[in-house]
Every structure is written in C-alpha cells, then in structure tokens.
Amino acid sequence: MSKKKTENTEETTVKEEQTAEVESQPAEKAEEPKDDSTEKIKTLEDELASQKDKYMRLAAEYDNYRKRTSNEKLTIYDDATAKAVTELLPVADSIRMALENLSGADPEIVKGIELVSNQLAKSFEKLKIESYGKTGDEFDPNIHNAISKIDSEELGKNTIAQVFQTGYKIGDKIIRHAMVQVANCD
C-alpha cells in the first residue's frame, strides 16, 4: 500500500504540476486577447472617426453645392430678365419722349400714351426693375454715365442737371447706365 500511496502521490504531484502549467497558459492567453481586443477597439474607433470625417465633409460639400446652385438660379433669372428688359428699353424711351413732346396734342392721345406708360412701369415693377437717374440726384460714376458737364449756381456740386437717358437696374445689377449732364463737377 505504501508503494501505491507513493505512486498516487507522485501522480497527483505530476497532475498538479500539469494543471498548474495549463492554468498558467490560459491566463497568459486571456491577457493576449485583451491586448488584441483593445487594439481592435482602437482600430474600429479610428475607422469610425475617419468615416465620420468623410461624412461631415460630404455633408458640407453638399450644403455648399446647394447654396451655389441656388445663387446661380437667382443670377440666371436676373440675367434673363435683364436681357429681355434691354429689348424693351427703347420702347420705354419712346413712350417717355412722346409724353414730353405732346404738349398741344389731343387729350385722348395723351391719356392713351400715359396708360401705356403706366402699364410698362407696372410690368417693370413686377420684374423688380428700377429706374434711376433723375434731375437733382447726386452723380455716382458707378451707375451714371456723364456725357457733359455744366456750371450752375442753382445746382449743388456733382448734381445731375439733365437726364438724356434713364438708367435701369435689377437689384444691384445695372441693366443700362443713366446718361446724364453733371453740374459743377471738377
């Protein structure tokens, strides 16, 4: 029996040593997956940050595109309106000259031309076309075209003395510069 006990004890000791080795190995392996999973998490977080950055850039690019196309549409509308109105301006000038030169004409004719003039003015108003360049206004070389100058004691410095052709604009876009005579300019 004592021999068996010794063998059993030796076997038990050998088994305990093997068990201790096996237990120590999984503990080491358990630590490795932790390091591995930490690396995977960091990699995934980096990838997520990269994808988020790409998404944000794409969203900003789309927003810029939307704003740019919206502004282009407005510009195209203003340009098309300006081009169409440019063709109508000689008619507006003719009506204005007719009204100025009908001092002794039949009142019915004058009334008819005034009606046409008012309709044209309302049409321009609907299209947001503004006329400018009236006698007494201050001269602005950005929107007025000075074709002559005059010295006058009645008018102030750089004042429009006479309008030869009315100017028109849509918003800030000049359709036609006003042709004017400027008083007391240097």
**Residues 57-113 pLDDT 10s:** 999 999 999 999 998 988 898 888 889 999 999 999 999 889 888 888 888 999 999
Mean pLDDT of 45-63: 95
CATH number for position 141: 2.30.22.10
47 in any annotated domain = no
- 3, with CB counted inside 10 A (0-12, 13-18, 19+), is exposed
- With pLDDT > 70 as the criterion, what percentage of the chain qualifies? 81
Residues 6+ apart with CB under 8 A from 85: 124, 127, 129, 168, 170, 175
More confident site: 117 or 36:
117
150 in any annotated domain = yes
Q: Please check the confidence at residue 29 and state whether its pLDDT lies above 50.
A: no
* Sign, CA torsion 54/56/60/63: positive
6 in any annotated domain = no
Q: How many domains does the chain have?
A: 1
At residue 58, the pLDDT reads 95
At residue 153, the pLDDT reads 79
Q: Which domain holds residue 144?
A: 130-186
Residue 54 pLDDT level (bands cut at 50, 70, 90): very high
Q: How many CB atoms lie within 10 A of CB 73?
A: 10
Residue 167 pLDDT level (bands cut at 50, 70, 90): very high
Q: Please check the confidence at residue 114 and state whether its pLDDT lies above 60.
A: yes
Return mean pLDDT, the chain.
83
Q: Please check the confidence at residue 162 and state whether its pLDDT lies above 70.
A: yes
135 in any annotated domain = yes
139 in any annotated domain = yes
85 in any annotated domain = no
Q: What is the pTM of this model?
A: 0.60
109 in any annotated domain = no
